[in-house]
Amino acid sequence: MKKPFSSSTLESTKKSSQDEPVVYLNGEYLALSNAHISVLDRGFSFGDGVYEVIPAYDKNLFRLQHHLQRLDDSLAAIKIKNPLTAKQWQQSIEQLIQNNPYDDQSVSLQVTRGIGPRDHSFPHNENPTVFMMTSPQKKPSSEISITGISAITLNDNRWKNCHIKSISLLANVLLHQEALDKGAKEAILLRDGYATEGAASNLFILQNDCLITPPKGPLLLPGITRDLIVEIAKQQNFYLKEQNITKAELLNAQEIWVTSSTKEIAPVTKLNDKIIGSGKPGAHWNKMMQAYQSYKQGLRSNTIG
């Protein structure tokens, strides 16, 4: 089992490079430029690993246990033994946040199958690589709450294990970039006539004042933000359905939202050049966004975990 962290390394790191972000690599805290991974790491050669992105507000982690559960599920799905216990993950992530200056941070962590010969077979004596870094968690731009964002629909050409938070993100990267190249901010993906999720986000629509999101399953990532929105919707007596969304329903929706840890809840006001609703972020979005912000406020003041 890997050491969760070594404080002696941290001390020397602090002295040597004051301005650099501190990262975590296999039990050690290092200045970013001192963190090195072998070229034979299977994350590099095969994209053989999984990841998480966890926001922290005023250094309080957002839904940590949910993220650790999803990490556990992703690791089990690709047959890597979780190298750290939940307690060790928590201590290591909290230490990393303390070692970096920003109040609001986005922690990205990844676990790969470690070093091995370039061979498709799993290596004998697997020793997973654990890497974590944080970056400032930016507030979604206030412009978005005035205008919303535009999106395009694209064919969901990813594999059929999208519930695994795999670091092999080439399909997502190409789809997201195609949206950017076409002047949009996100791609909403369609598979067999149904909308699954965004290239890097989950999907909600409003139809006849009912909030609808596709059900969890192998064709989409079980987003932590998605689950919180479902919880809030139940508390706030939204009409809510977890059901498949056709392309026609998507295009004729009253409101469309895409959600993620980094985007929070982004209202889509234009899809494929079609104006959605009034062309401005809708009333339901506004209500959900207020509830989401008060959840974050509770986290900041340490009244929820």
The catalytic residue positions are 165
Q: Which is nearer to ligand PDD, 54 or 80 (CB)?
A: 54
- Piece of 12-20, 126-134, 259-267, 277-285 that binds ligand PDD (CB under 6 A): 259-267
Binding flag, residue 60, ligand PDD (CB under 6 A): no
Task: Compute the C-alpha angle 303/234/60, nearest 5°.
Answer: 25
DSSP 105: E
CA pair distance 42, 84, nearest whole angstrom:
19
Identify the residue among 26, 74, 100, 225 touching ligand PDD (CB under 6 A): 225
CA pair distance 296, 271, nearest whole angstrom:
29
Task: Compute the C-alpha angle 251/253/258, nearest 5°.
Answer: 90
Q: Which residues from 205-224 bind ligand PDD, rule CB under 6 A?
A: 221, 223-224
Q: Which is nearer to ligand PDD, 176 or 270 (CB)?
A: 176
Q: Which is nearer to ligand PDD, 111 or 115 (CB)?
A: 111
Strands (E), 141-295: 149-155, 186-191, 194-198, 202-207, 210-213, 239-242, 245-246, 255-260, 264-271, 274-275
Task: Indicate the length of the chain as a whole number.
Answer: 305
Mapping DSSP to helix (H, G, I), strand (E, B) and coil, where does residue 72 land? helix
Binding flag, residue 53, ligand PDD (CB under 6 A): yes
Q: Could you tell me if residue 47 is left (phi over 0), alpha (psi between -120 and 50 degrees) or otherwise beta?
A: left
Per-residue x/- track, 68-97, ligand PDD (CB under 6 A): ------------------------------
Q: Which is nearer to ligand PDD, 61 or 115 (CB)?
A: 61
Binding flag, residue 130, ligand PDD (CB under 6 A): no
Which tokens in the block code for residue 268?
């889509």
Q: Which residues from 181-200 bind ligand PDD, rule CB under 6 A?
A: 197, 200
Identify the residue among 105, 110, 150, 202 touching ligand PDD (CB under 6 A): 202
| 255-260/264-271 β-pairing | antiparallel
CA pair distance 300, 193, nearest whole angstrom:
41
Binding flag, residue 260, ligand PDD (CB under 6 A): yes
In the complex, minimum distance from the CB of residue 50 to ligand PDD, in angstroms, rounded to a whole number: 11
Binding flag, residue 201, ligand PDD (CB under 6 A): yes
In the complex, minimum distance from the CB of residue 299 to ligand PDD, in angstroms, rounded to a whole number: 15
Question: Which chain residues interact with ligand PDD by CB under 6 A?
Answer: 53, 172, 197, 200-202, 221, 223-226, 259-262
